[in-house]
Amino acid sequence: MTISEANQMVINLLDDEDNAEEYIDRLPDFYDYAQKQIATTVDNIEKTLALSIESDTEIDIKERTKSELEKHLYYVKRIVTDAEYEHIYGYTYRLAPGEYRIVCCVYPETVTSDTAPEYAFEISPEAQPAIVYYAAAQACVTDADLRPYYAFMDRYNNILQNINDAKNNTVTVKAVKL
């Protein structure tokens, strides 16, 4: 989903075409916050850093991720290798000679008012609708009637809960009295 598509979805949810421009000016901050929150909680953005080490080396994986993947590291998820390595502190590791695949979870790009409308959100397609509901909730929070805010936030939270449940292979059952 692109920012342009998200903008249209938010305007449709708010059912307020007359004030579309006002909303669209405020949405980038909401998109940025939601995408970062989702990427650091239930839907990590994984990137793989491939390294070929020829001699014992101490590296800062955070700096290597920034320079080689052009991304900011959130955390190191796993290191795949047959070689030996040692975690020293923080993001610093001592690597023995060998081939390494370092799976990193990274932050998405920052969304601002200067971000192109064609920018595609980096979290999974399953999580992207949550961004729209979060933005719609934040956009309408100044209204006198807060029922839409709560409804949109419920949808946002339900999407995140479903993603989390799917990752953990759990099922949530809600009993309803008829």
Averaged pLDDT score across all residues of the chain: 91
CA distance 86 to 102: 13
Note the pTM of the prediction, 2 decimals: 0.85
Question: Domain limits of the chain?
Answer: 3-40+109-167, 45-106
Which of the residue ranges 4-13, 51-60, 130-139, 168-177 would you say has the lowest mean pLDDT? 168-177
Given this model, what pLDDT does residue 178 score? Answer: 56
Collect all residues with Cβ–Cβ distance below 8 Å to 24 and sequence separation of at least 6: 7, 11
Q: Pick the closest to residue 30 from 164, 144, 141, 147 (CA basis).
A: 141
Q: How many other C-beta atoms are found inside a 10 Å radius of the C-beta of residue 19?
A: 11
pLDDT class of 17 with cuts at 50, 70, 90: confident
Q: What is the pLDDT of residues 116-160, one digit of tens each?
A: 999 999 999 999 999 999 999 999 887 688 899 999 999 999 999
Residue 99 has pLDDT above 60, yes or no: yes
Confidence band, pLDDT 50/70/90 cuts, at residue 50: very high
Structure tokens at 97: 């000679």
Q: How far apart are the two ends of the chain, measured CA to CA in Å?
A: 38
Place of tokens 């719609």: 136
Tokens of 78: 């796993």
